[in-house]
Amino acid sequence: MKNTWLTVDELAAVLKVSVKSIRRAYRKGQIPVERICRFVRFDLERVKEAMRGNGEGLSPFSAGTQGQRSATGGASRRRAQRTRPRLGKTGASIARTPRRKK
């Protein structure tokens, strides 16, 4: 059987997922990757086999693989509220200051 070596863009087109999803999956080790010098190539058959899961878990592209929910409003993560006031002038502090006379 002949190996079908694909680039990231080609694999994303074949699997109908984004390029970011492919890169994220191979960085996490969820899909096999071959490095040829500085180039990254994928064997289509091995990737499809890894996506089937081989009974070892879910596919890297299936919905809810990690069970994590994103933060509300699309923020990257929820952050604790500041305990100290911001340094420098904010809109509220500028509005309270009297205007200088010319």
Tens digit of each residue's pLDDT (9 = 90 or more) over 2-14? 677 899 999 999 9
82 backbone dihedrals φ, ψ, rounded to 5°? -70, 140
∠ CA 21-30-42, rounded to 5°: 75
Tens digit of each residue's pLDDT (9 = 90 or more) over 17-72? 999 999 998 888 888 999 888 899 999 888 888 888 754 555 566 555 455 555 55
Confidence band of 1 (pLDDT split at 50, 70, 90): low
Q: Which residue matches tokens 């420098």?
A: 88
From the number of C-beta atoms within 10 Å of its C-beta (0-12, 13-18, 19+), residue 7 rates as middle
Find out whether 44 and 2 touch, Cβ atoms under 8 Å: no
Please state the pTM of the whole predicted model: 0.52
Architecture of domain 1-54: Orthogonal Bundle (1.10)
Confidence band of 78 (pLDDT split at 50, 70, 90): low
